[in-house]
Structures are given as C-alpha cells and as structure tokens.
C-alpha cells in the first residue's frame, strides 16, 4: 500500500482536545500518531471529512501545548475497540516554528523507539 503522507509520523501518547469552530462541542483523546503536517487519533465522535476543528495538543512531558486549526481528511471505523473511529487530521496554517517543533519531536520519538 502506497504511503500518501507528506511527512514521517511517530507513534505517540499525547493528549489532544478538539473543538468545533464557533461551537461548544468538544472531545478529547490520546493521539495515535503525529507529524508536522497532521495527526491521527481514535474517537467515538464522528466528524465528516473536511470538518474544521480547533486542536490543542498537550505535550505533558514538556509541559507545553500547541494550538492548531485542523481539517478532517480521513475517517475509518475501528473493530473491537473502545473507540469507534480513527480520524486523520491535516494541520492548516501551522506556523513554521510549530512545524519545526513537531518535526523534532517526531524525530526524537522515532530515535528512541528504534534503539
């Protein structure tokens, strides 16, 4: 199967909170994987493709958060899981310093898992 991702992703255990723009609906979960261009996380809420969400990603080990605008690009049903869906997000208009931070974080995460 061809990998269509723009950047390598690292498997992580980060918290994220999602909020529909101009709505009070929010949801949170642990991120499955992340890169400087997007992320995937398991959810029980269904968000149609192209839904725009405000995302807060909490890096608990570093005690910092990143806020981003994200668009749903993929949704897949999960089997035999406490979550119903795997939802893929693309980050929109993410500042270069945040992209670099995520790139370094993923690189460091991959380096630790390969050793």
For residue 71, the model assigns a pLDDT of 96
Q: What is the pLDDT of residue 67?
A: 92
What is the layout of strands, in order, in the sheet containing 15-20?
10-11, 33-34, 38-43, 85-92, 64-77, 52-59, 15-20, 26-30
State CA 112 to chain mean position distance.
20
CATH number, span 10-107: 2.40.10.220
Digit-coded pLDDT (tens) for 12-68: 778 787 776 655 555 678 899 999 999 999 999 899 999 999 999 999 888 999 999
Q: Which residues pair with 40 in a beta bridge?
A: 33, 88
Q: What's residue 97's pLDDT?
A: 94
pTM of structure: 0.75
In this structure, how many other beta carbons lie within 10 angstroms of the beta carbon of residue 91?
22
What pLDDT sits at residue 1? 45
78's tokens? 């999960």
- 63-108 pLDDT, tens digit each: 999 999 999 999 999 998 899 999 999 999 999 999 999 999 988 8
């Amino acid at each position: 199967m061809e990998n269509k991702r723009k950047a390598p992703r690292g498997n992580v255990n980060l918290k994220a909170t999602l909020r529909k723009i101009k709505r009070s609906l929010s949801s949170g979960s642990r991120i499955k994987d992340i890169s400087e261009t997007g992320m995937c996380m398991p959810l029980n809420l269904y968000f149609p493709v192209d839904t725009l969400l405000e995302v807060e990603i909490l890096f608990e080990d570093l005690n910092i958060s990143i806020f981003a605008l994200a668009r749903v690009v993929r949704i897949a049903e999960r089997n035999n899981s406490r979550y119903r869906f795997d939802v893929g997000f693309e980050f929109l208009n993410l500042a270069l310093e945040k992209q670099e931070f995520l790139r370094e974080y993923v690189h460091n995460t991959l380096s630790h898992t390969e050793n």
